[in-house]
Every structure is written in C-alpha cells, then in structure tokens.
Amino acid sequence: MDYNRWVMATETLPTVIQPRQPKGAFANEPFTDFKQHENARRMKAALEVVAAELGREYDLVIGGHRFRTKGKIRSVNPSRPDQVVGIHQKAEAEHAPQAMQAALEAYAHWSRTSVETRASLLLHAAEIIRERKFEFCAWLTYEVGKNWAEADADVGETIDFLEYYAREALRLAQAKPSIQYPGERNELHYIPLGVGAVIPPWNFPFAIMAGMTAAAIVAGNTVVLKPSSDSPTIAARFVNVLEEAGMPGGVVNFCPGSGATFGNAIVEHPKTRFIAFTGSKAVGLEIHERAAKTQPGQIWIKRTILEMGGKDSILVCADADLDAAVEGVVASAFGFSGQKCSACSRAIIEAPLYDVFVERLRERVAKLTVGEAIDNPNMGPVVNKAAHESMLRYIEIGKKEGRLVAGGHSVQTEAGGFLMEPTVFADVSPQAVLAQEEIFGPVLAVIKVKDFEEGLAVVNNTEYGLTGAIYTADREKLDRARHEFHVGNLYFNRKCTGAMVGAHPFGGFNMSGTDSKAGGPDYLLLFTQAKSVAERL
C-alpha cells in the first residue's frame, strides 16, 4: 500500500455510545405533509442550506481514519448535471485489504459488544436523522432527483429501519429453544457472522443503504460499505451520523469505488463472510457467482443477501373501482420516475374495462408535471445520462411493439437535466420486450387480457417475482391471487409500491432475489448464525 499518496485527517471520533431504550412499540415514522405552509417553508430552507454545501470533498473512512486518493468520483445533480453534489475518493482493488483488516480488527470487539449498546447506536442515529429530516430530504433531492414526497418517504424509511432493527436485535437476543431437554440447560444464541460487504443501490440511497448497514452492525458484524457511484454523498453523511452517535472506528468502513475493481475485490476476499446487495439482476448474479467460488484461506461458505429488481404487474379486473385502479397504476408506475424495483411497469387489464381504462389512464398521466426536483414536480429526472439514453431506446422499441398513448419524449431544460415524459404504450403483447425486460424508468406497458384466468397467467409470465397488485371487488379472485399471484409482496386494491417497514416485509422470488424480507422479523437472521449450547445439570 502506497501511503505516501494518502492524506489522513486528524480529527478523532467519538467511541462512547450512550445507552438508549426503545420508546414504546415500533411505529412507522409519519409522512410529512408538504401542503402545510410550515413544512414547505422548512423544506425550502433546507434546500438552501444544502445548496451551500454542494461540491465539497468527502474522504474514505477506514478504521475510523480519513484518507484521500488520486482517483475521484463526482456525484452530480441529475436535474442539473453541471452541478456537482459531492467529490469522493475512489477506492481501488488495492484498498480492499486495508478495509478488510480494519473491519476485522473492529469485529474483534464489536462482536462482543452488548446487544443493548449496539441497539443504542441505531436508536441514537434515528434521533439525529429525525431532527435533521428536511436536511436529508434536501440531499436526496439534489443527489438523485427525488421530489419532496419521495425524499421524505426515503428518510422516513431510514428512521424506520433503524428503530425496527434495534428492537429486533433486542428480541432476537432473548431467543430460547422451544424445548428444554430433561437434565440439561439449553440455550440458543444468534451470533454475528463476521465482516460483510454492503453494496446498496442509488434509487433508495438512504433507506436501503442504511437498512442493510444497520441490520449488519446491530447483529454484531462489521461492514465495508461501497455505495453506488451515483449516490455516495448521502452514504457519507450517514456514516457521519453513525460516528456522531458514537460508532467506534472500523465498524463501518466507507469505501466508494468501482464495482469492477474495489467491489469485486471485497466480494472475493477470503475474509468476507457475507455480501448484502441491492441492484440489477446482472450484477446480483455476478456477485453470487463470485461469492460462491472458494478462495485460498477461506473457511466458510459466503452468504449472499440479494435483491435484484422486478417486472411488476397490476391486474385490473372488470369489476374494479376504476378511479382507484387508475390512481394506483399511475402512482406505482411514475413515482420517482419509475425508478423503483417495485414500480408497476405492466398494467394488465381485463377486456370489458380495457378501452375506458386506457383513456382514463391517458387523461391522468397528462396531468403529471415534470421538472427539476427542487421545484417539487410529480416527476423529476432519471438518475444519469445512461439511464436517459436507455429510456429513449426502450421508447423506440415500444413504438414497434405497441400503441403510444402518452409521452414518448425527453423533456428539454436549460439546465440539461435527464428528464423524461411519463410514457404509456397500450396493446402490448405479454411476450414483448416492453413486457419482459426491467426498464427502470417512466415507461408503462398496458396489456389486454380476456379474463381473470388469462390475467393470472400473464402476471406470472416473467422471470421476476417482486411486487404485484390486483384491483377487484371479488373475494374469490382475491383468494386465488393470494395463492397463485407469485410475488414476494402482493397488494389488494392498492398500489404495488410503498412497502412499510414492519407491515410489509420486502423481498421477492425467482430472479428478484433471495426473498430477504427487509423490514421483517426474519431479516436479522440473515446476518447471524445460530449457536446451540447445552449444559448437563
């Protein structure tokens, strides 16, 4: 390691975690109503405060120390690509051993730190974020183009994960065998795995990043955190929150870098015990394959916790509440410009309702506003130039596969943002490219089916199985969908996005991942291993 080209900051980090107890039973963080003048005023003020901090440089954080590298990652505002949000150090493959060594050293004491102390860290971090909610919303608006409501939901979910996993860790620590064998004292302990790699996506750069990280560390593991190159700033600021809350150095090591270099190096490292990843199917499968190959000196089977996207459907039956169904499809398809793995990208409509549904959908989509995220439109930009170009390619495919009902163009602004119209294609075949490939943007395919039987067959005809919804007043259809609509998160008579921590444990089937069920009572088990202890009396 060539330390001569590194610059280390001199500040010291707090290492004392103040004891905190959960305040009552878990409850989801309430949404902010931006129609209220005071909330809108506070959001605008936060945007101004954050604007003054744009463009600053952030360091790698390894073992509690801060370093700089020659290579840099520049995060930009997708509404204004010339505006730099943050400049970050670029970790390379050569930095993986240093990050791993720091995490291993921290693991030696963190894994033996009491669960009450580890939970207190999460609870304190939740308090800090709650106090600065509008500030974090503003960072999300600048870095990934979320409008105010989408940013608020992301921050709220972050708080929820911290609060929920703190309680779950305390509950899990009290687990006991269901049976005590005569003449013995039997115990069951859920112990940490070791050092893990956390590789989050850019679309929920706060909630998913913080959720995977928090679950790992509250279970007693230490982490090498490699955020997306499109959203490293919010991750850097989360690490700052953990440090402020008292996290010891080395528990979370902040290492932005390329997936092909640093990411692969940390996945393949023989001391890496687990990899928590959220992102595309292609990258998730590559991580799974790399992790499965045993390296020299490796003494365990690496665990992969993967969430890899979806091709999500909303089935609208002929007896559905038309107004509710249209609203649910539009919200699911175009919230955050369709950049959610849970987004509805296929509306499957029974024939008797099809024509009127398509017309009402066209009318509703025409009312959506598109613009710079700080102005709080219905839709902000897609995340980067590559995503923008991908949307345009899919639109050209859609013109050959279906009937363009709405949108179909990029939106030009003086700032050169990556803005797209909400786009709807009708009369799409269930086997079309638009109906099978994950587009991850504001492009919706509408598919006509003759009846409920055909509709069920179509919702299950992709390689994915993440989310889905059905609109119907028929209890028999709902009961059948409960058993036959094969997705990890199924919703009745509501949109297919917006999973709430605790209420809707989130994760999918098939090529959507390992059904990890984030925000559910089983999630922390993925970051632990069970140890049974029996003592003869």
Phi, psi of 447 (to 5 degrees): -120, 135
Please give the structure tokens belonging to residue 284.
Answer: 């998730």
pLDDT digits (tens, 9 = 90+) for 342-353: 999 999 999 999
- Active-site pick, 137, 255, 341, 344: 341
Q: CB 149: neighbour CB atoms within 10 A?
A: 17
Query: Are 62 and 99 contacting, i.e. CB atoms less than 8 angstroms apart?
Result: yes
Q: What is the pLDDT of residue 196?
A: 98
Please name which of 501, 531, 537 lies closest in space to residue 173, comparing C-alpha atoms.
Answer: 531
- Work out whether strand 65-67 and strand 60-62 pair parallel, antiparallel, or are unpaired: antiparallel
The answer, as to whether pTM is greater than 0.85, is yes
CA–chain centroid gap for 210, Å, is 9
Name residues whose C-beta falls within 8 Å of residue 417's C-beta, 6 or more positions apart in sequence: 78, 79, 80, 81, 145, 372, 381, 411
Please give the structure tokens belonging to residue 311.
Answer: 């091709």
Q: What is the pLDDT of residue 224?
A: 98
Please name which of 387, 351, 489, 345 lies closest in space to residue 78, comparing C-alpha atoms.
Answer: 387
Q: What is the pLDDT of residue 15?
A: 60
Q: What is the pLDDT of residue 9?
A: 36
In what helix (H) or strand (E) does residue 195 lie, and over which residues does it extend? strand 195-199
Residue type at position 400? K
Please name which of 313, 341, 335, 314 lies closest in space to residue 493, comparing C-alpha atoms.
Answer: 314
Name residues whose C-beta falls within 8 Å of residue 489's C-beta, 6 or more positions apart in sequence: 342, 466, 467, 468, 496, 499, 504, 506, 507, 508
- Active-site pick, 29, 150, 168, 307: 307
List the domains of the chain with CATH numbers.
41-308+516-534 (3.40.605.10), 312-500 (3.40.309.10)
CA–chain centroid gap for 489, Å, is 15
Residues of the chain with pLDDT under 70: 1-15
The answer to whether 307 is a known catalytic residue is: yes
Q: CB 82: neighbour CB atoms within 10 A?
A: 9
Name residues whose C-beta falls within 8 Å of residue 187's C-beta, 6 or more positions apart in sequence: 176, 177, 532, 533, 534, 535
pLDDT digits (tens, 9 = 90+) for 279-291: 999 999 999 999 9
Q: What is the pLDDT of residue 6?
A: 34
The answer to whether 463 is a known catalytic residue is: no
